[in-house]
Amino acid sequence: GAVVSQHPSWVICKSGTSVKIECRSLDFQATTMFWYRQFPKQSLMLMATSNEGSKATYEQGVEKDKFLINHASLTLSTLTVTSAHPEDSSFYICSARLAGVSNQPQHFGDGTRLSIL
Amino acid sequence: GESVGLHLPTLSVQEGDNSIINCAYSNSASDYFIWYKQESGKGPQFIIDIRSNMDKRQGQRVTVLLNKTVKHLSLQIAATQPGDSAVYFCAEKGTGANSKLTFGKGITLSVRP
């Protein structure tokens, strides 16, 4: 149980392109989903917390107009990297937590490798 | 600020030996701790968790120990196998429904055949 699916797994695109990444909780409902960014050989850095039906909460230093988050249902959150540039190249990982339950582990998708040329 | 850190960046163990991965945390208000395993090119995979009202929890081949006095967390892997080779992260979460998960820096476990 508690499977999180992320799509696509790998994206290569030209500079200036906008890229959408989907995160789905397959067998549970998630009122809260999280988006992380991970550079090579580094830890996961939280970018934003996505709440179903409301605006996302962004961490300090993360541009909300650059990284658009939509969480329209209890099983789907999307992250759109707008006008992506080479410095946006990274490994983006989403995570979801079971709705209404505190102190439960977050379950992670398998990440999206984004490469901007 | 508050942080979660690991003592060693890499750990090399012989197949069949036991592995111990250590983690120090500085937020004394944290009440929930998780160990994750991340294989190359994949997302973190949940291994085991522990709440602050416990000091030990066992799973299949893994044990997590929590010492709140010195703010130390460890993951013990029994009979380490090649498939255990990965990066391991400890993560901590504070009290409150809106508290966030904070990850440590990660340690690479390499299993020698």
- Please write the tens of the pLDDT for every residue from A32-85: 899 999 998 889 999 999 988 888 999 999 999 999 999 988 899 999 999 999
The pLDDT of residue A6: 96
All residues of chain A having their beta carbon less than 8 Å from the beta carbon of residue B103 are 43-44
Compute the nearest-CA separation of B40 from chain A (Å): 10
Distance CA A106, CA B1 (A): 23
Check pLDDT > 90 for residue B57: yes
Place of tokens 């085991």: B48
pLDDT band at B97 (very low <50, low <70, confident <90, very high): low
The pLDDT of residue B2: 41
Identify the bridge partners of residue A35 per DSSP, sorted by sequence position: A48, A94
Is the pLDDT higher at B109 or at B26? B109
Compute the nearest-CA separation of A60 from chain B (Å): 13
The pLDDT of residue B61: 96
All residues of chain B having their beta carbon less than 8 Å from the beta carbon of residue A10 are none
The pLDDT of residue B1: 37
> How would you class A43 by CB atoms within 10 Å of its CB: exposed for 0-12, middle for 13-18, buried for 19 or more?
buried
